[in-house]
Structure 1
Amino acid sequence: MSEQPLSEQPLSEQPLSEQPRLVDSHHHVWDLDHRPQPWLDEPGHAPIRRTFGPDDLRAAATRTIAGRRLAATVLVQCVTSVAETRELLALADRDPLVAAVVGWVDLASPAVDDVLDALLAGPGGRFLRSVRHLVQGEPDPGWLQRPSVERGLRAVGGRGLGYDVLIRDHQFPQAIRLAERLPELPLILDHAGKPPVVRRDLAGWAAGVRRLAARPQVRCKVSGLVTEADHETWTVADIRPVWEVLLDAFGPGRLMFGSDWPVCVLAGGWNRWAGTVEELLDGCSAAETSAVLAGTAADFYRARARADDHDHDHEERTPCS
């Protein structure tokens, strides 16, 4: 058998010199002229109430982390729409910055198998790596244990996909039950389970993190933390207690950097968060730093290297729809 081409190898299996310098595991886009985002009408969202495409991220992400430049991202769904997922996959097919997509399907639908198969067979379907639902907005404390939802999750796992767990800190019990009931389903905790940074009361959240981290199939995104803090006054000192819990519970080999861009604009932006992550990583070894900044995301999302770097001139491109 011939050796697999480097461009088709998982990023974490490539020689270090060929790896992307930085993988952002949580990146959003939206075109408000094409698809409304009703959540942007909520108070406090005015700074991001406009269209954002990949080139906006390229322009914003100018800071390196530990000498690594942004080279690949994971594009994540925003609204409960299969049509949006199709658009994200088509965008991934066109744009070399996007290495993987987290999409949405109706997990409770009897047609979930057919929908997943159609997405995987459609344009850009090879970039679908995980599915997400906005569980944070579900009032049912056992939503993830509904028989119809569990069937949908088994369909996701049966196709070699993962599941992004989006919960708030009070919803850890159902996430833990999910990890226990479906040990074969790869899980990733988005935004570290949204710790209540602004309340400065992390005990309950930390207990949930440790119980979930005890399940070996779970990974965690170090993302979305600054928007859980005071948007105007947060400092690295506010974030460090969260980081210390995550590092102790998961270890660096199960953590991954994510920006939650452009939502992070509400609390300082991409570069400020990048600088914060660099401070948090101080004291980690080179291998540990590499895991957080590239390796864990590359392994979980089976992200592929699509370009050596992104120093190309992009100023003539238009935002993607």
Structure 2
Amino acid sequence: MTDQPFSLSRRGIASLALGGAAVALQARSASAQQAAAPASQALVSTEWLAANLRDPKVRIIEVSVNPGLFERGHIPGATNVSWHRDLVETVRRDIASRDQIQNLLRRAGVTEDSTVVLYGDNNNWFAAWGAWVFDIYGVRDVRLLDGGRRKWEAEGRAVSTRPVQPTASNLTLAAAPNLALRARLTDVVPIAQNQAAEVKLLDIRSPDEYSGRIFAPQGFQELAIRAGHIPGAVNVPWGQAVRPDGTFKSVDELRALYAAVGIDGSKPIVVYCRIGERSSHSWFALKRLLGYQNVRQYDGSWTEYGNAVGVPISNPAGTVWGAT
């Protein structure tokens, strides 16, 4: 089942084209200035972190979504960041502002030469969101703890309940965010209308969400009133990118995984999920581990798109909101 198409005036399409050209130009500029870090510079192992806990240049930040985890025990020296309060705007739906992120990082003791290691629960979903936001604001060296909190605990490594108060820094972030890492609804609609065929759209939700059998996984609060996926999107669930212990698969395995659905980095990629947390994880795999240059996250994701009026939707399962 496909809804009636979202209509755009010629002026609107031209405006989108100009906007897309500007983002592409910015992406090429960013690529010329700094190539994507290889996987060895994007991840740290639990062994590496355990050996570097006392290094003053390593700043550890936990981003867990479940309340109370940090207080019950965290990696020694870590500071706590709340996804709900610190990494997003709490009133309007948006990422945190430059000033918010700059103040957060200053409080965490992050300096220009720090290595920032992010980790958290839920397979690092929200830690990956943090990495995406930090990249947008130009934080120099941001890495994920491979396997996250789950692997650290499974190995019986040290945890602490003692809060830390790092010496505040005077870090200054770049004046302008890197908007080439982010996609908006106005970028995605032309893809759905087949007006931007050169862009690869990747849906990393479960097959049941993608097909429209369900609106969201059981127990999740943020919902759309339409089921299905954005037309033209291919489906690679985020969990296919990790091993049973939560660590990322090898670069060769990841490259083959995405190439199987036609995503090889030769064309621009837009990735989405439900609210942007799971797609942050897949964005990290594509951008930071595989080094594909033009990868954007559509953080509005399905809760924005599936609630928008008049946009085209593919709903193979035919599930209808409110049907009994």
TM-score over 0.5 (shorter chain): no
Relative to its length, the structure with more helix (as a share) is 1
Instruction: State the TM bucket, normalised to the shorter chain.
Output: under 0.3
